[in-house]
Chains A and B, each alone.
Chain A
């Protein structure tokens, strides 16, 4: 394969031109989601065109990074040794956009994660790159 690299053993696919604005924002510790201005339509994961109007490469719009856990699992046997189990893989439904983002919920015991848990995006360095994660919002204890 010539399309990616393993940084610290974690798969970090090479960023293509199409999604570079997304990853540039992540490097800047901001979360943006693909958004077609003409159609007011949010898209994630990004698409090569807006399904409503057909315009290629829709733009990007910042979101707060707040959301709730809409589905999750606790992984005990990871696909690669670099991942340290147990950890939570969750789909986070964003407050600002009707899309779901896959990530880890960190900063809480896996056994305390539940559906509907309010979370907020947070960023961590992985090698020389940044990745986005989600953590329970301050004050959320349920």
Chain B
């Protein structure tokens, strides 16, 4: 992004354990993420201006998130923002936090995400009402929306169910190298194919699981990041695009260009092209999504993305390292695309352990919300 000020960088990250997390509470895991990321950055809570990406628990202004968190962190906060764009909020928050730090509005912001959720029935019931009157009464929910998009994407691009299975296999191979990942058992294309159908063409292993957990990212001035324990990761560019409401006309995602616009704006603001990117973090609640997003961001066609997947190029040792933590598909989906941001930071800092890609310099992370109607993209650059 055009640097009008001091420059902003990511100095630290944290992810909590992932899973059911029985016995732990919502606010406690979020607090762990905040404190963990601050410590990872070599900073103290006293250095933090405020939080971003924490939604208020209720509609009551009296207990809005920054007031509650001032109490939970036992200190006044001098900054807060919440970008109300569902799953696109994570990358958008990184971009907004970086712009605000760069402009001098604040010095240090913790972008946080996560949850301890209710039971599946509670979640479904809540979602059914949130989605309004024209969707849930017919037995529609996330998997069926995305199944309709997947069918159209596959039909138009000649992409097969086996191609999708290869994306699940690549994610699992990466996850096997991550100690926090939810699903680590080796997986084959036959395993994916043998799984029960959820909503045609998506089988069980084409879908991520919902799990509990949290994560956080510290965005601060480049100077402060330089004095921390890790190599700073510059927030080089950011883009957003919002096209429509996210239900009913779901296959509009294939023609409305929202993902492409968001990614182009991010790359333009960073002054890079898609060919410069060394590492991709493309939000993957379903296997076909990374293939569709590789197409939308202009890296290749959907058919070529499918060929890359089938040739194993998206997995460890491949030419196009993608979602190297294992993605929503195998690492977990508690923090949506913030997990992809955190993994990209670890890769660019050279501390991804057995998953480490050779000297990556530029990462592109793309998140989305709803049914691909809300998009945001972040470009991250490592520092030598």
A interface with B by C-beta (< 8 Å): 1, 3-4, 6, 10-13, 15, 19, 23, 44-45, 70-80, 82-83, 87, 89, 91, 99-104, 126, 131, 133
- Determine whether the beta carbon of A77 is less than 8 Å from that of B197: yes
Task: Encode B231-250 as 1/0 by CB contact (under 8 A) with A.
Answer: 00000000000000101111
Q: Is B138 touching A91 in the complex (CB atoms < 8 A)?
A: no
Q: Report B-chain residues with C-beta under 8 Å of the C-beta of A13.
A: 128-129, 132-133, 136-137
Contact of A12 with B151 in the complex, beta carbons under 8 Å: no
Q: Is the CB of A75 within 8 A of B144?
A: yes
Residues of B within 8 A of A74 (CB): 197, 199-200
Whether A1 contacts B247 by the Cβ 8 Å rule is no
* Cβ-based interface call for B139 (8 A): yes
A70 to B140, CA, bound (A): 16
Q: In the complex the two chains form, is B139's CB within 8 Å of A83's CB?
A: yes
- B198 at the A/B interface (Cβ < 8 Å)? yes
Task: Evaluate contact between B148 and A45: CB separation under 8 angstroms.
Answer: no
B46 to chain A, nearest CB (A): 40
> Which residues of B, 106-134, contact A by the 8 Å Cβ criterion?
121, 124-126, 128-129, 132-134
Query: Is the Cβ of B152 less than 8 Å from the Cβ of A10?
Result: no
With A1-B126, A71-B151 as known contacts, state yes or no: A10 contacts B137, CB within 8 Å.
yes
Chain B residues with CB under 8 Å of A78's CB are 139
Please name the residue on chain B nearest to A78 by beta carbon.
B139
A13-B128, A73-B199, A76-B197 as given contacts; A102 in contact with B247, CB under 8 Å: yes
Q: Name B residues whose Cβ lies closer than 8 Å to a Cβ of A.
A: 121, 124-126, 128-129, 132-141, 143-144, 147-148, 151-152, 196-201, 204, 245, 247-251
CB contacts (< 8 Å) of B250 on chain A: these are 71, 91
B142 CB to nearest A CB, Å: 8
CB closest residue in chain A, given B123: A79
User: Which one of B134, B137, B199, B204 has the greatest number of beta carbons of chain A within 10 Å?
Assistant: B137
Picked from B128, B200, B245, the residue with its CB within 8 Å of the CB of A76 is: B200
Please, which residues of chain A bring their CB within 8 A of the CB of B136? 11, 13, 79
Distance, CA A44 to CA B124, complexed state (A): 23
Does B125 contact A77, Cβ atoms closer than 8 Å?
A: no
A-B contact pairs, 14 of them (CB 8 A): A11-B124, A11-B137, A45-B247, A71-B250, A73-B144, A73-B151, A73-B200, A74-B200, A75-B200, A79-B124, A79-B140, A89-B144, A91-B250, A133-B138
Inter-subunit contact A11/B128 (CB<8 Å) = yes
CB distance from A115 to the nearest CB of B (A): 8
- Tell me how far the C-beta of B233 lies from the nearest C-beta in chain A, rounded to whole angstroms: 39
Cα A137 to Cα B228 with chains together (Å): 68
